[in-house]
Structure 1
Amino acid sequence: MKRIGRLVLLFCAVLLGVSVAVSAPAGAEPKLPENYNFFGGIPYELQHPGGSLPGSNDFGCKPTAEHPRPVVLVHGTGGARTTNWGSYVPMLKNRGYCVFALTYGALPGMPWPLTAVGGMDRIDVSAGQLQKFVAKVLSATGAKTVDLIGHSQGTYMPTYYLKYLGGADKVTNYVSLAPLWKGTGSVSPAMNQLGRLLGDVPMPMCIGCGGMLQGSSMHKKIWSGGSPYVKGVRYTNIMTKYDELVVPYTAGYVPGRAGETVRNVVVQDTCAQDYSDHLAIAGSRRAAYIALNALDPEHPVTVPCEFVPPFTGQS
């Protein structure tokens, strides 16, 4: 099974032109190589099954005055702490952040590579894993709160943690790549009805995926109080018009109400050359720099307008 998994991931890496050579873990100097490609973390998972990307999950890292909050990366459905964040870990580490990433929702009792396929369990179960991980990060670093950067399901699931598991006072910035606040399939009344009928039915492999359907009971919990947001947390939603999985992409475009701090960003609004889709937006330098500015708006970096291809996001 492990051999088959390695071959599958290796094939993906070769097909996408991703180098399998991986730099050894490094400290502050020399800088970690930055690779803006959604699939950039696959080679490391191939060579270090179940490991953490260099620069991440250093529980001896102490936040600085410039970056006082650790950043916790929350992958999407089918992702992991390595495979989803090949672009973000080195970018954040090189800029002085303490960076942490978890794999949540991997089905128990499975061999590798299925241990690197997260987001498969119920959303409340995954949120409980995030709760424990954040508690560990805060204990190790001495920080009072963390910043979250999530992709896809990783934009949605943490809300359960904030609203029901005590996370509201432990998160300062909540940055979402390809968010699905209004649920998947929200364009269709039929999909809404399907969510009401099947949202709580365990799906094959992805047990909790029905919880992201608009009509599901989990979706109602996410929207308890009439909003997916929590007051006191700063939200940044980063979307693409070419999202083929969050349909329509405006399912992630939810303005904040009174007392809620929300910024909605559609990447094409400032750059027509950006063809990011659902995957590419997590591998795009443009989107990554927008995320950086959400974490530290007092020291903004210049967000480039450059060609971003779909699928990989490499730019």
Structure 2
Amino acid sequence: MKPSVRRPRRPLRLLTAVLLAVLAATAPTAARAVEPAAGAVAAAPASASGGGWNDRSCTPSDRRPRPVVLVHGTFGNSVDNWLGLAPYLAARGWCVFSLDYGRLPGVPFFHGLGPVEDSARELAAYVDGVLEDTGAREADIVGHSQGGMMPRYYLKFLGGAEKVNALVGIAPSNHGTDLLGLTRLLEHFPGAEDLLGTHTPALRDQVAGSDLLRRLNEGGDTVPGVAYTVIATRHDQVVTPWRTQFLDGPGVRNILLQEVCALDLSGHLTVALADRLAFHLTANALDPANARPVNCLSAFS
């Protein structure tokens, strides 16, 4: 009879996976990406323009007067994160733009890794460029994960509230995450917290209770003049507990997908990539005057 092998607990396996991902992302690579100078706004990838977005000649219409800026999540980028939602919004008449932010030297494709404060400054410069190119007075922002939380720094500390009408956060890390209890294990692994902070500052900033989140949420979750919508899924495996995604304050609408359709099984990644219910709810948040009912059948429309 073979002796039984005790399997590691799930949080330990998750911690190992995260640390391996960090090491893989920060290891030297044979083909290094060319990084722009600090503060520079990168041009949109050509492949994105072919999908109906990142067209700087797009002119907002009377029906869609505000351009939409899409902000990817941690380890995401301006194209892959939005292959579903960007064409969806563009086909419905919005001028849609997406940026890459939080890039680290020598790490291609996987972005959103730098300090949240620096990323918010990149977003501020990008929004200024979109407004200048389109002639619009304000923009709307839709962000996934870190991309739903980081713009709040721009709104609160960098004057973004004067240039942004609405912020839609899809599975946003608004009050941080414990990654299913994973971050509580960091103290038991010497050097793990320093590794996260040194190589992926954005992960450190998104841990529940971080200095960045304390400053961001001190004095209230919202700023006047901006409409906030949060779209969360009960099956989120990354920003946990999922209730921490919700905001408090005037002008806030918190939506749990399973209260719209109990059958929705989307997790943290799929909710932004392919969830039609989330897409419809996002469009309603961007155009509340013409909002349409959303239910389980909406997943097929």
In the comparison of the two structures, how many residue pairs are matched?
A: 258
Do residues 217 (structure 1) and 208 (structure 2) align? no
Do residues 152 (structure 1) and 152 (structure 2) align? no
Structure 2: which amino acid aligns with 1:274? D
Greater CA deviation, 71-80 or 201-210? 201-210
Greater CA deviation, 284-293 or 213-222? 213-222
Q: 1:155–1:180: 8 Å Cα contact kept in structure 2?
A: yes
Structure 2: which amino acid aligns with 1:222? L
1:12 aligns with none
Provide the identity percentage.
39
Structure 2 CA distance for partners of 1:148 and 1:69, relative to 1, 3 Å: same
Structure 1: which amino acid aligns with 2:48? S
Residue 50 of structure 1: how far off its partner (Å): 7.0
Over residues 24-83 of structure 1, what are the superposed CA-to-partner deviations in whole Å (9 max), with x where a residue is unaligned? xxxxxxxxxxxxxxxxxxxxxxxx977424212111111111010000000000111100
Q: Distance in 2 between matches of 1:147 and 1:49?
A: 21
1:278 aligns with 268
The structure in which a higher percent of residues are helix is 2
Q: Distance in 1 between matches of 2:230 and 2:185?
A: 23
Q: Distance in 1 between matches of 2:94 and 2:137?
A: 15
Q: Distance in 1 between matches of 2:61 and 2:70?
A: 19
Q: Distance in 1 between matches of 2:178 and 2:87?
A: 34
Q: Distance in 2 between matches of 1:154 and 1:67?
A: 22
Residue 305 of structure 1: how far off its partner (Å): 0.5
Q: Distance in 2 between matches of 1:277 and 1:264?
A: 17
Do residues 52 (structure 1) and 45 (structure 2) align? no
Structure 2 CA distance for partners of 1:2 and 1:238, relative to 1, 3 Å: farther
1:263 aligns with 253
Q: Distance in 2 between matches of 1:4 and 1:138?
A: 32
Partner secondary structure for residue 147 of structure 1: strand
Partner secondary structure for residue 173 of structure 1: strand
Partner secondary structure for residue 150 of structure 1: strand
2:280 aligns with 289
Structure 2 CA distance for partners of 1:198 and 1:158, relative to 1, 3 Å: farther
1:82 aligns with 79
Over residues 194-252 of structure 1, what are the superposed CA-to-partner deviations in whole Å (9 max), with x where a residue is unaligned? 6xx99887535422211111221101121131x22111100010001110111110001
Q: Distance in 1 between matches of 2:271 and 2:284?
A: 16
Residue 115 of structure 1: how far off its partner (Å): 2.8
2:166 aligns with 173
Structure 2: which amino acid aligns with 1:65? D
Q: Distance in 2 between matches of 1:129 and 1:155?
A: 15
Structure 1's consecutive aligned runs of 4 or more residues displaced over 4 angstroms after TM superposition are 1-5, 48-51, 186-190, 197-202
Larger radius of gyration: 2
Q: Unpaired runs of 5+ in structure 2?
A: 1-28, 34-43
